[in-house]
Chain A
Amino acid sequence: MSQQERIGGEPSEDEPVPVMQEIFDNIWFLFLVSGVIILVSYIIWGLIDLVNRPTLP
């Protein structure tokens, strides 16, 4: 087995990893959560704040 093939795959790729590591390894999931946070916390909440300002004539 060449050294190149060994790397990162040892001892076995099938070895179970903790849930947190699986989450950290899934950049697509991180993308989703990040998008939801910015959308809800910054954009939607911010726009709600602005829209809820009382209007003067």
Chain B
Amino acid sequence: MPIAPPSERNWWDLPLGIHEKVWLTLVVAVGLGLFIMMPLWHVFGRQNPSSNTYRISPESYATKVTDWSKGARQVAEGLAPPGQDVYLLAGRFTWFPNALVLQSGVPYRIHLSTKDVNHGFSIHRDGEAAQKANFQVVPGYEYILTMEFTNPGVYHIVCQEYCGIGHQFMVAKFVVTERG
């Protein structure tokens, strides 16, 4: 019983029953299967978190984003980036820029960092509840994610890491248009 030492001195060599053996075999198989799924998806899947990160001071990153935004084109719905690099600067309690115009079918390198505390980059396709992805935005680190949007439409961005009292006002969007 569990509140006394085992009744047999050598419990290691006691035989198991068939039901236990079946379950233990299944458990090992499940563990291996779960583990192998992750590297497999890196090879065959299309959705993987990036490992592409640089260290950069929050000030340098803020300067870089400002410089980059000067080269971008202002259109009606927001800022159209000059190339395939897209920069987002998080800060209490705004995103800069807060509206970007992108094209579907183009692989964009989305750079994420913050000038103050941790923020969260949570991107949701408008009108499609389960179409979303979430990433952590950490000061001192420039995280580069490659995203290629399949469908045109609006993609809402909300901050989902607690960053202070104005957290709930931190929203932005990507307006994805048909590739022209």
Contacts and interface: CB of A to CB of B under 8 A. Distances in A.
Touching chains A and B, CB distance < 8 Å: yes
Interface size class of A (residues with CB under 8 A): 10 to 19
Interface string B1-23: 00011110111110000000000
B60 interface: yes
Interface stretch (B50-58, B74-82, B124-132): B50-58
A20 B13 CA distance: 10
A7 B53 CA distance: 59
Contacts of A10: 7, 9
Nearest to A16: B10
A14 to B, nearest CB: 9
Given A21-B10, A21-B11, A8 B54 contact: no
Contacts of A55: 54-56
A35 interface: no
A8 B6 contact: yes
A34 interface: no
Contacts of B53: 53
Given A7-B5, A8-B5, A8-B6, A17 B56 contact: no
Interface string A1-36: 000000111111101111011001000000000000
Contacts of A16: 10
Contacts of B5: 7-8
B112 to A, nearest CB: 14
Nearest to A8: B5
Contacts of B142: 56
Contacts of A12: 9
B9 A15 contact: yes
Contact of B7 (A8, A13, A24, A53): A8
A16 B5 CA distance: 16
B141 interface: yes
A53 B9 contact: no
A15 B56 contact: no
5 contacts: A17-B12, A54-B54, A55-B56, A56-B55, A57-B60
Interface of B: 4-7, 9-13, 53-56, 60, 141-142
Q: 3 nearest interchain CB pairs?
A: A8-B5, A21-B12, A56-B56
